Amino acid sequence: MPKSLGLEDADEAPRPEPYQRLWLMVLIQLLDDAARRRAGGKPRGGSRRDGEAALAQVVECGPELRFVCLMAGLNPVWVSEKFIAGTWPGRIGKLRGFPLRRGDSEDD
């Protein structure tokens, strides 16, 4: 069972398993696509329709978001609410270390 990530303080959060890190990157891309569409753009390498689908998944807490969050060990409702409220960090660059503890390297 995946460890729960994202609800604890970043300093106290358990280090994600390698497969969780992969799913976190999938989630980050989904959120980035949704954020780009919400801002009126289109996702990198995709169409506006792809962006609309990503935005709908995140805002409606759709089955794809729920699956990706399950695999990443995150609560999909929490992720959706953070995104809707505008309190999710946003761009991929700001999320790369999330939810790793400070000082952990992404490359190991």
Phi, psi of 86 (to 5 degrees): 80, 15
Digit-coded pLDDT (tens) for 8-35 = 444 555 666 788 889 999 999 999 999 9
**Lowest mean pLDDT across 26-35, 67-76, 83-92, 93-102:** 93-102
Phi-psi region of 73 (alpha: psi -120 to 50; beta: other; left: phi over 0): left
- pLDDT over threshold 50, residue 97: no
Percent of the chain whose pLDDT exceeds 90: 38
Note if the pTM is more than 0.85: no
